[in-house]
């Protein structure tokens, strides 16, 4: 279920790919992320959350709406 999935990456293109697939997206500041983060707004993706690293992305995802925690049924 892609609508309940998230693409976590370190590039604007990762966020674009996740959203194009129907998933949600997050950008991590590790790897290329710190340099790529300013490009989110230029790409019309200012709504994509930016987090410190993969652990922070997981924490944010788990704390998100209950929809993310509902097992497929």
Which two three-digit tokens encode residue 2?
């892609």
What's the pLDDT at 4?
Answer: 86
What's the pLDDT at 72?
Answer: 53
pLDDT above 80: residue 66: no
Position 62 confidence tier, pLDDT thresholds 50, 70, 90: confident
Give the Cα separation of 43 and 28 in Å (integer): 16
Residue with tokens 């209950």: 66
pLDDT single digits (tens) 3-18:
889 999 999 999 999 9
Which two three-digit tokens encode residue 68?
């993310």
Which two three-digit tokens encode residue 67?
């929809």
What's the pLDDT at 3?
Answer: 87
């Amino acid at each position: 279920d892609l609508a309940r999935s998230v693409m976590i990456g370190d590039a604007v293109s990762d966020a674009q790919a996740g959203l194009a697939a129907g998933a949600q997206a997050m950008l991590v500041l590790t790897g290329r992320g710190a340099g790529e983060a300013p490009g989110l707004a230029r790409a019309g993706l200012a709504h994509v959350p930016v987090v410190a690293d993969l652990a922070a992305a997981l924490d944010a995802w788990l704390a998100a709406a209950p929809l993310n925690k509902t097992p497929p049924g």
